[in-house]
Chain A
Amino acid sequence: MLISSLSIINFNEMDWFKKILTIILLGFVIWAGFLLFAGKFKETGRRFLYQDIGADQLYGGDLFEYLGVDKFKERIRKFPFQNAPLIMAADIIMQGDSFFYSRLDSVPFPEYFEKITGQKVFYQYDLGHDSTPTRYLEDIGYQKGEAKFFIYETIERMSARRALSFKPNFSGENDGSVVAASTPTLGSRVVNFLFDQIDVEYFIKNNFIFRPIGLWFKNKAFVWLGDIDSDNPVYLNNPAMLFGEGDIAFGNNKIKFNFIGEMADNIAQEAKIVKDRYNLTLVYLIIPNKFSIYGESAVGGKKYDDFIPKLQEALKDRGVKYLDIYRVFDEYHQQHPSEMLYYAGDNHYTPLGKELVSKELISAGIGLK
Chain B
Amino acid sequence: MNLVNTSVPKVDSMALVTGKPVYTDDLAPKDCLIVKVLRSPHAHAKIRKIETERALKVPGIECVLTHEDCSDKRFTMAGQTYPEPSPYDRRILDDRVRFVGDAVAVIAGVSEKAVAKAMKLVKVDYEVLEPVLDFRKAKDHEILVHPEENWKALCEVGADNKRNLCARSETQEGDIDQVLKDCKYYVEETYHTKANQQAMMENFCTFTHMDAYGRLNVVSSTQVTFHVRRILSNALDIPKSKIRVVKPRIGGGFGAKQTVVTEVYPALVTMKTGKPAKIVYTREESFIASSPRHEMEITVRIGADENGIIKGIDVYTLSNTGAYGEHGPTTVGLSGHKSIPLYGKAEAFRFAYDVVYTNVMSAGAYRGYGATQGIFAVESAVNELAHKMGMDPVKLKELNMVKKGQKMPAYYGETATSCALDKCVERVKEMISWDEKYPRKDMGNGKVRGVGLALAMQGSGISNVDTAAVTIKVNDDGFYSLIIGASDMGTGCDTILAQMAADCLDCDMDQIIVHGVDTDVSPYDTGSYASSTTYVTGMAVVKTCEVLKEKILKKGAQYLSCPPEEAEFDGKRVFHPESGKEISLKDIGNQVMCGNEEALQASESHYSPTSPPPFMAGAAEVEVDLETGAVELIDFAAVVDCGTVINPNLAKVQTEGGIAQGIGMALYEEILYNEKGKTSANSFMQYKIPTRQDIGNIRIEFQSSYEPTGPFGAKSIGEIVINTPSPAIAEAVYNASGVRVRELPITAEKIYMGMKEK
A-B complex is real: no
What residues make up the interface of B, taking CB atoms closer than 8 Å to A?
Answer: none
A interface residues with partner B (beta carbon < 8 Å): none
